Amino acid sequence: AKKREYKVFSVEFHRVETPFIIGIWIFFASLAKIGFHMAPKFSKMFPESCLLIVVGVVIGVLLFHASSVHVSPLTPDTFFLYMLPPIILDAGYFMPNRLFFDHLGTILLFAVIGTIFNTLSIGATLWVLGKSGLFGFTTPLLDMFLFSALISAVDPVAVLAVFEEIHVNEILYIVVFGESLLNDAVTVVLYHMFETYSEMGPSRITYMDLLSGLGSFLVVAIGGTIIGVIWGLATGFVTRFTNQVRVIEPIFIFVMAYLAYLNAEIFHMSGILAITFCGITMKNYVEANISHKSHTTVKYTMKMLSSSSETIIFMFLGVATVNNRHDWNTWFVVMTIVLCSVYRIVGVMVLTAVANRFRLHKLDKVEKFVMSYGGLRGAVAFALVLLIDPKHVPLQPMFVTTTIAVIYFTVFIQGITIKPLVKILNVKRAERRKPTMNERIHERIMDHIMAGVEDILGKHGNYHLRDKFKRFDNKFIRPYLV
Interface ranges with other proteins (CB under 8 A)? 358-361, 431, 436-439, 441-446, 448-459, 461, 464, 467-468, 471, 474
Cβ 466 to other proteins shortest distance, Å: 12
Q: Which is nearer to other proteins, 106 or 297 (CB)?
A: 106
Query: Whose CA is closest to 289, among 336, 229, 236?
Result: 236
Q: How far is CA 279 from the centre of its chain?
A: 14
Helices (H), 358-393: 365-373, 379-387
Contact indicator for 31, 309 with CB cutoff of 8 Å: no
> In sequence order, what are the beta bridge partners of 168?
429
Q: How far is CA 356 from the centre of its chain?
A: 25
Q: Which is nearer to other proteins, 303 or 361 (CB)?
A: 361
Cβ 176 to other proteins shortest distance, Å: 19
Strand ranges, E, within 290-402: none
Q: Which is nearer to other proteins, 37 or 428 (CB)?
A: 428
Q: Which is nearer to other proteins, 44 or 460 (CB)?
A: 460
Q: How far is CA 312 from the centre of its chain?
A: 15
Q: How far apart are CA 416 and CA 47, in angstroms?
A: 6
Cβ 294 to other proteins shortest distance, Å: 22
3-state helix, strand, coil in the chain (%, to 5): 80, 0, 20
Q: Which is nearer to other proteins, 102 or 184 (CB)?
A: 102
Cβ 225 to other proteins shortest distance, Å: 26
Cβ 63 to other proteins shortest distance, Å: 52
Cβ 113 to other proteins shortest distance, Å: 21
Q: Which is nearer to other proteins, 16 or 453 (CB)?
A: 453
Q: How far apart are CA 284 and CA 161, in angstroms?
A: 26
Q: Which is nearer to other proteins, 8 or 456 (CB)?
A: 456
Q: Which is nearer to other proteins, 206 or 426 (CB)?
A: 426
Torsion of CA 366, 368, 374, 380, to 10 degrees: 170
Q: Where does residue 305 rank: exposed (0-12), middle (13-18), buried (19+ CB within 10 A)?
A: middle
Q: Which is nearer to other proteins, 3 or 365 (CB)?
A: 365
Q: How far apart are CA 317 and CA 53, in angstroms?
A: 6
Strand ranges, E, within 131-238: none
Q: How far apart are CA 67 and CA 63, in angstroms?
A: 6
Q: How far apart are CA 406 and CA 343, in angstroms?
A: 14
- The C-alpha angle 54, 33, 86, rounded to 5 degrees, equals 100
Cβ 216 to other proteins shortest distance, Å: 34
Cβ 443 to other proteins shortest distance, Å: 6
Cβ 437 to other proteins shortest distance, Å: 5
